Amino acid sequence: MRRMTYFVMALAMVLGFTQCKKENLEPENEGKQVMITLNVGGGDNNGSKAVVTPPSVTFETGDKILVASDGHYVGTLTYNGTNFNGDITDPVVGKPLYFYFLGNNAVLGSANGNGDITNCTVNISNQTDYPHLPVISMGVSINRSTGATVTYPSANNEYEAQLHNKCALVKFSTNLNSSVVNVASMNTMASVNFGTGAITSGTSGTVSFNTDDSGIGWAILLEQSAVIGAAVTATGYQDGTCDVPAISNNAYITDGDAVSISLTATPVETVITWNSSTISSINISGNGSSFTNGGITVTSRSTDAKWNNSGSISTITLKSTSDKLTFSTADGTITKIIITLNPTSGSVEGTPSPGWTYNGLPNYTLTWTDSSSSSVDLGCVSSKGFPGGGIGPGIETEKFKVAAITKVEFTVQQ
């Protein structure tokens, strides 16, 4: 004849940063297997992990509680939107039951020689699915009125367990709106010993979490010492650091104690190219004449500073040290200019002004990378001599000339 034993277990979640709640657990015992129903009531019906709406924590469909007895894992309960249901196998008479909520990230260890699983690990690195966060907590079956440990099966068929956090809920105040933030040097692995019930933290790694449109982020952190200058990265920002205080179990770090992160946005660089067809349209001759394309303008600053075309040959000519062409943009700053010459017919005469470098074959380019500016001047340095050689004080000759320009590339930083 089938023998069935019914009992009720009330489970109170007291998570420090969460609300208190009582749930009913009704198992049915037949032989070595026990069917347990943990009635938590209410809750949402989608997602996974615990739903964290600081400071409260609630369950969602798919959340799991691991059960251990006498030092080994005996089963898993899964939330269906109303109850936690599942089979536990071989709970040991005279021993308490241990309950673990591990953020649905638990990886069970290998079975020992007796076929028992005595440990598991939990990795909390990825927390980018807020408000679903990997809350880690555990509790043991107790008497609700005295607090004394209660073993299986209890004399009055009633149990209560108080879940204790083995983590902290931490607020991050950042200038990174709607971003994924990565904080290094955090303990990211929790190890569970079903024999002692201990949950210990270790393994330095990176915790990743997301922020809302005001830059606020929340993350579960494991117990660890303070970290000064923890490396912080986020897409679209330059790397930075933050200071994370010492983390203790059951802590709720918020508002005035929130971890502050401020990173500098990575400048966006755009390459604007004038190709041969664009260059063939340039005809600058005389003070103030200019040409604009793609947000870049080149302007003559003297009568003899010219950029024009003769046939298919595009040439820049500067006849004195007062001559210059100015490249400018209103959309940011110019960080690099590369003027490319035809390797067969191109030529450079004279010396360009400081900041410009001429590179012969195979590159055949005139390059400016001196600094970052909204306007860049191309001028020349003074030189004297006699065309064709000779002696004497010398005469002023053409100072700088670039012929057969085929392409110009502007790198603009915004």
Q: What's the pLDDT at 49?
A: 56
- Average pLDDT of span 102-119: 91
* pLDDT tens digits along 226-244: 999 999 999 999 999 999 9
What are the domain boundaries of the chain?
5-261, 270-385+394-413
52 to 19, 107, 118, 134, 252: CA distances (angstroms): 11, 22, 29, 9, 12
CA–CA separation, 414 and 412 (whole Å): 7
- Reported as a single tens digit per residue, the pLDDT across 64-81 is 989 999 999 999 888 888
Q: How far apart are CA 152 and CA 141, in angstroms?
A: 9
Go through 48-83 and write b for each residue having 16 or more CB atoms within 10 A of its CB, e for each that does not.
bbbbbebeebbbbebbbbbbbbbbbbbbbbebeebb
pLDDT, residue 289, reads: 96
Global confidence as pTM: 0.70
- Evaluated on CA atoms 60, 62, 68, 72, the torsion sign reads negative
Helical H segments across 146-295, by residue range:
276-279
The confidence band for 13, taking pLDDT boundaries of 50, 70 and 90, is very low
| pLDDT at residue 150 is higher than 70 | yes
Question: Ramachandran region of residue 274, left (φ > 0), alpha (ψ -120 to 50) or beta?
Answer: beta
pLDDT, tens digit, 9 for 90 and up, residues 304-343: 999 999 888 999 999 888 999 999 999 899 999 999 999 9
Query: Where does residue 165 rank: exposed (0-12), middle (13-18), buried (19+ CB within 10 A)?
Result: buried
Name the helix (H) or strand (E) containing 101: strand 97-102
Separation of alpha carbons 168 and 257, rounded Å: 13
Per-residue pLDDT reduced to its tens digit, 169-211: 999 999 999 999 999 999 999 999 998 889 999 889 999 999 9
CA separation for the pair 294, 410 (Å, rounded):
10
The rounded distance, in Å, linking the Cα atoms of 156 and 265 is 63
Q: State the architecture of 270-385+394-413 in CATH terms.
A: Sandwich (2.60)
Termini Cα distance of the chain: 80
Dihedral (CA of 276, 280, 282, 285) sign: positive
